[in-house]
Amino acid sequence: MERTFAIIKPDAVQRNITGKILERIEANGFKVVGMKRLHLTPEQAMGFYYVHSARPFFKDLCNYMASGPAVVLVLEKEGAIAEWRKLMGATNPEAAENGTIRKDFGVSLEKNSVHGSDSPESAAFEIPYFFNALELV
């Protein structure tokens, strides 16, 4: 079994579609082994997205992620990282395939409703950024 990290972003939480996204996750065979609702500070968002710190969108991304509550998750499934990336769809909802979370729920490139680890290395950083081992069951 592989684990990956996911976020239901502030735009989706604000629109009260967390349950719909969780239903889609579980319907696609993922087991939720960790889940928290939290409100990131700008500093926490900057720490999480540090890999993008040199990019022009970094400040806007961090401000957006600190704009309201989000739900952070650890998902488990065979091939979880690739499977979650597939279920999320392309970063830009307009370019995402039909039936993906971003196509169905995303509003814009920034407000695309979900985040997911893109590699085993990023999952290894992202999961313990939000969860300790005792919180994963």
Adjacent-strand bridge partners of 70: 38
Token digits for 30?
């993922």
In sequence order, the 6+-apart residues with CB closer than 8 A to the CB of 55 are none
Which residues are known catalytic residues? 115
Token digits for 108?
């814009």
CA dihedral angle for residue 97, residue 71, residue 78, residue 137, rounded to 10 degrees: -170
